Amino acid sequence: MTVSFSPRKRREFITQTLGLSALAMSGSAFAQTKPTIKIGFVDGWSDSVATTNLAAVIIRSKLGYPVELKPLAAGIMWQAVARGDLDTTLSAWLPVTHEAYLANFKDKVEILGANYPGAKIGLIVPDYVKATSLADLNNYKADFGDRIVGIDAGAGVMKKTEEAIKVYGLEMRLQPSSGPAMAAELDRAYRANKAIAVTGWIPHWMFAKYKLRFLADPKNVYGAEEHVDSVINPGLHTKAPSVVAFLKKLSWKPEEIGAVMLAVEGGAKPEAAAEKWIADNPARVAGWLA
């Protein structure tokens, strides 16, 4: 038997059929929606901002996951990853700087590996400065105006510098300031080709802008080189295995992170700086995602 529809009934039938198809497609899309990846970082650390935004752009644009960034103090950041409030942080300085945090949460987090090897703190000078070591700094103290330009009082590198002054018997005073103020003084001295010693660390954008080096530390006051690691809550393996695979491979070089940090220091938005670097370095990104 053949069923015949009037023109009006035929239009209603087609509309209902298309509606059901759209609803089915919508339900399928909803089922495929990926969970949001929450990443913690320390907003005042230029390396943390650069690496976090780089990873966020790749996770969002290449792996298809929504990303939420959470600026936090370091201790709270570790605690949040341990609780599962955050999925990951790419800003763990190990084995020394964040040693206490790792000791507290080692059973609740997983270290994926270094995203930046060769991290270091110490006294930094322009490459043209005669002094090469903390041990001979007194011989050139007049060149430096008898001072070391520091950052915020109480910072880890400031405490180590106070210790270094005692251990090496330095006849120089440590002048507290702030990160931006220290960078401004370094810039003025560098442009004038004058000697200056500043408290600092790598990775930092100033290594991309100037030719700098650390003063040798034969008594190891500042400690050995560290590495910046990616740390996850173990639940991320189930939540987003492709993100874990990417984070395990993510590791970049001083000139690479330096380019992004310098762009941000120059006024670019962190996300935009990361997007440009990714566009300019497709082979590197492909290697992390392979």
Between CA 269 and CA 165 the distance in angstroms is 38
Say what the pLDDT of residue 30 is.
43
- Of 164, 202, 205, the closest CA to residue 187 belongs to 205
Say what the pLDDT of residue 7 is.
55
Q: Name the superfamily (CATH) of residues 120-214.
A: Glycine betaine-binding periplasmic protein; domain 2 (3.40.190.100)
Residues in CB range of 200: below 8 A, 6 or more apart: 121, 122, 123, 124, 151, 157, 182, 206, 212
Predicted TM-score (pTM) of the model is 0.78
Pick the CATH number of 37-118+227-289 from 3.30.56.10, 3.40.50.1980, 3.40.190.10, 3.30.70.1050: 3.40.190.10
Give the Cβ contact number of residue 18 at 10 Å. 10
Q: Give residue-wise pLDDT tens across range 70-127.
A: 999 899 999 999 999 999 999 999 998 888 899 999 999 999 999 999 999 999 999 9
Say what the pLDDT of residue 12 is.
56
Per CATH, 37-118+227-289 and 120-214 having the same topology is answered yes
The ranges assigned to domains in the chain are 37-118+227-289, 120-214
What are the angstrom distances between the C-alpha of 146 and each of 39, 120, 171, 201, 288?
43, 24, 7, 21, 47
Say what the pLDDT of residue 16 is.
53
Give the Cβ contact number of residue 97 at 10 Å. 18
Q: pLDDT below 50 — which residues of the chain?
A: 1-3, 13-14, 17-31
Say what the pLDDT of residue 25 is.
47
| Block residue for tokens 């990443």 | 39
As beta bridge partners, residue 121 has 201
